[in-house]
Structure 1
Amino acid sequence: MKSMFNDAEKLIGVDPPNGSLVKAEIYHLCGDIGQFDKWLDNARRLGAGPQADRSAMYVRSNLGYFSASVPAFEQLAVVESGFLSDVFAFGLVICSYRRMGDAAASAAKAKMELGMDSGYAIDTARKGVDVLNKLGINEGQVQSVLDVAGEVLRRHNLFWMERGPVVRFSDTADGPGLLYQMYVGVPPAEALQLTDEVLELLFERDLYLPGLAFTFISHPSTDAGH
């Protein structure tokens, strides 16, 4: 790690904005959100532009600060940013369905392609808006639940896996429902314990939302017997 910091310092000497971004990314690897934000702000001050927003979006969510990723996503999820195609599907990770809908409409008007998975992402975002409306839940409330899940992961020095949570919707005679499942690299029994910790915190903080369920699930690559 020391050599990585040394290389970043050398880069700062010749390319301050990108060097600051690199140093921020190293602190991301260390799990230090405070130092990450410090160097990201420095990169912005020096003119890093949208690259800083892109870094903020991915890193904050990766460390479990999902709601803190939303402003950067909203900055990038517009046709004018030049990054819309790259970041569009990320809205599913942070439950930013309405911004995805607006972005998809703007992209269609501009005849801009949104990537291979855009059809699925657009359909999922539409279902998300519909189910949340029926449940009387807003996106910020869902993001608060995800933040609690991120807090539990940090307690155990874990990261969520795959491209984002698995999102499942239901709208049956029993009523609408939304299920978020997040892969983690632990055996099933430990994933269940982590889920229980999330549920306890949600009840303690009055964040439990009828119709919205959350679970951690053991990633298939995890050795259940480990």
Structure 2
Amino acid sequence: MIAPVPAKVTSRIDKEVSRLLLQDVPRYLEPSDPRVVGWLDELANAMPAGRKEAFFTMASVYHLTGDLKTTNAMYERARTHGATEDEIAACSIPAYLNLGYPSKAAAFCKMVVSIQKSNITIGLPSAVSTGAFQFVGELLEQARKAELDLTAVEDIGDIQAMVRAASSSGFGDEQYSQVLDVAGAVMREQRLFWLNESPRYHFDEEMELLAIRYLIDVSPEDAAALTADVSKRIVELGLEAVPLSVAFVGAAESVEA
């Protein structure tokens, strides 16, 4: 029997973690989850084949458990083995978004998403998810000048409408991101990931209201309660005037009394 070489182990685990995220893992994995324990053991043994790659993949595993502190520690260890700032920033975007820190994710988006890096098409959904609508507008302008086709970007019409509305709202990226940070904090407290590759974006033309909806693995009743909690916290932070509606949509069945 032939054992897989360490470099292939790292690549396989990285694909398994990515596949799990794309398959809508509903909640953070427990550190004791056999998959987490097994992955980390395999990666420790794979170190000789490529420490930078192994540390990046370890970061992805800790990301699945909700452990951002250790995720960042793995990025730092990857840095000591040749990882660039752009590589770390690109990996940090999904980690910070998935774990409920849109404001911080926005800073990383601004570092690495641009027409010069040829990644606007794949970077736009993440940038919108951070609430950095002014920055998204800059990306759209870069794409227009470069005659870049954005028709493949999901909800591109709503994204363009949201950017136009945000630009005339009197509020900046910081305020929009802070509103989304509130939703992130609530999901983090419940150890919830949102489902699907990104939240749903919508612009209500009649009310001139930007809307972001997170599909989560709770009942519709629990989703409504969590949405009410978000609304309350937004008011407490003095952000209620920001024209951004944030809500949760429950994907699980109702619990019958």
Q: Where do residues 43-122 of structure 1 align in structure 2 (5 Å cutoff)?
A: 43-49=78-84, 50-110=86-146, 112-113=148-149, 116-117=152-153, 120-121=155-156
Report the counterpart of residue 217 of structure 1 in structure 2.
Answer: 249
Report the counterpart of residue 201 of structure 1 in structure 2.
Answer: 233
Post-superposition Cα deviations, 1:7-59, rounded to whole Å, max 9, x if no partner, equal 22233332121111011111111110111111112223433233322211011
C-alpha distance in 2 between matches for 1:210 and 1:90:
20
Q: Where do residues 106-185 of structure 1 align in structure 2 (5 Å cutoff)?
A: 106-110=142-146, 112-113=148-149, 116-117=152-153, 120-121=155-156, 123-172=157-206, 176-185=208-217
Over the matched positions of the two proteins, sequence identity in percent amounts to: 21
- Please list every run of 5 or more consecutive structure 1 residues that lacks an aligned counterpart in the other structure: none
C-alpha distance in 1 between matches for 2:82 and 2:143:
27
- Please list every run of 5 or more consecutive structure 2 residues that lacks an aligned counterpart in the other structure: 1-35
Q: 1:57 is aligned with what amino acid? A: I
Q: CA deviation at 1:90?
A: 2.1
Contact conserved, 2:195 with 2:217, CA < 8 A, in 1? yes
Report the counterpart of residue 15 of structure 1 in structure 2.
Answer: 50
Report the counterpart of residue 6 of structure 1 in structure 2.
Answer: 41
Q: 1:136 is aligned with what amino acid? A: G
Pick 1 or 2: higher relative contact order, CA cutoff 8 A, min separation 6.
2
Contact conserved, 1:92 with 1:125, CA < 8 A, in 2? yes
Name the Cα RMSD after superposition. 2.3
Aligned residues: 220
